Amino acid sequence: MQIRNFSWYILSKPLGDKDYIADKLEEHLFKPCTHQQLLSQGWVAPVNEGEWVYEAHGAQLVMLKQEKRLLPASVVNDYLDAKVQQFEEAEGYKPGRKLRQQMKEDITQELLPKAFTKSSRIPVLIFPEQGWLLVLGASNKTAEDATAFLRSSIGSLPIALVNTDSSPSSMMTQWLIDPLSVPGDWQIGDEAELTDAESALVRVRNQDLLGEEMMVHTSAGKQVTKLALTWREQVSLIVQDDLVIKRIKLILEDDDHGPEEDTEAARFAHEFAVSCNWVVPLCHSILDAFGGLDKALDASQSRAFNDQEIGV
């Protein structure tokens, strides 16, 4: 399992141990779409059949599977236009809005059983000791789907999006203005996105971000919203101003081929170990770069986790 993108949440209290979470997920396992379903979702085993929570290296992994029926709106509208035309020819007048809506619903129900399905998996990585939850997906919708379904499955999900004491946008902008202010673990890459109060957007790729052209944009008041960075010369990534992390690449990953065993479980275990080995220190380094976790969020989490340890 390789991490390419993630949305990062802070747990305000522990979720429970592996067995507790697994028991809850087992009540909401994945079932394929029925003929009349547009979407079905549920939990599947990350690797070993029947093991709903994979736990190793201080992390817990759960896997949400979604299956969607592919029924493009354009197809439904083509059928609807034909049906409306038939109605007009037979009745001599156009159907009203309510009747058109009913026609559309009938067509959808008629076409759904014939529609192809597409499935996807959304890994959710939990670090109990750190109090973090990472949804390994590239879009906000993916993160929202996964956290909403996890919440409904276990009854509650006390999380908040990660927030730091200093504004990531302000800090990243300052790094472009003053390269000496970049923390030691980090090097600036060759891609950025900047915007201003009027939503004017500038995208830069394959360019020196410390050159005069970028100074023009920052001097005009534009703030960085996305920035390519390299961490410890090991990992390249894009950091967004909301601390969603995208396009992660291990710089030396091609040199690490993993175990010689050719089993899926062995490859998975190796990739999981490698991922956990770098993602935790990476996240700590991100927090350090932006002034640490937001003080109120940090205090709330610390109280809850301390209470859990002493059994309050």
Residue 80: what pLDDT? 95
Q: For residue 1, is it within any domain?
A: no
Q: Which of 140, 141, 192 is nearest to 168 (CA)?
A: 192
Residue 306: what pLDDT? 74
Q: For residue 102, is it within any domain?
A: yes
What one-letter code names the amino acid at 140?
A: N
Q: For residue 2, is it within any domain?
A: no
Read off the pTM: 0.86
* 21 and 134 assigned to the same domain: yes
Residue 307: what pLDDT? 65
The residue range of the domain holding 59 is 7-71+115-161
Band (pLDDT 50/70/90 cuts) for residue 19 is: very high
pLDDT at 78 over 70: yes
**Mean pLDDT of all residues in 179-206:** 94
Distance (Å, rounded) from C-alpha 97 to C-alpha 2? 49
Q: How far does Cα 147 stand from its chain's mean position?
A: 10
User: Is the Cβ–Cβ distance between 132 and 276 less than 8 Å?
Assistant: no
* 144 and 16 assigned to the same domain: yes
Q: For residue 299, is it within any domain?
A: no
Domain total in the chain: 3
Q: Which of 37, 115, 103, 119 is nearest to 72 (CA)?
A: 115
* 197 and 260 assigned to the same domain: yes
Residue 312: what pLDDT? 46
* 184 and 248 assigned to the same domain: yes
Distance (Å, rounded) from C-alpha 78 to C-alpha 267? 47
* 215 and 274 assigned to the same domain: yes
**Mean pLDDT of all residues in 77-105:** 94
Listed range (63-77, 120-134, 277-291, 293-307) with the worst mean pLDDT? 293-307
What one-letter code names the amino acid at 293?
A: L
* 240 and 261 assigned to the same domain: yes
* 31 and 155 assigned to the same domain: yes
* 52 and 196 assigned to the same domain: no
* 157 and 11 assigned to the same domain: yes
Q: Kind and range of the H or E element at 74?
A: helix 73-91
Average predicted confidence (pLDDT) for the chain: 92
111 phi-psi bin (left φ>0, alpha ψ -120 to 50, beta other): alpha
- With a pLDDT cut of 70, the percent of the chain lying above it is 95
Residue 62: what pLDDT? 98
Q: pLDDT tens across 134-156, in order?
A: 999 999 999 999 999 999 999 99
**Mean pLDDT of all residues in 173-191:** 96
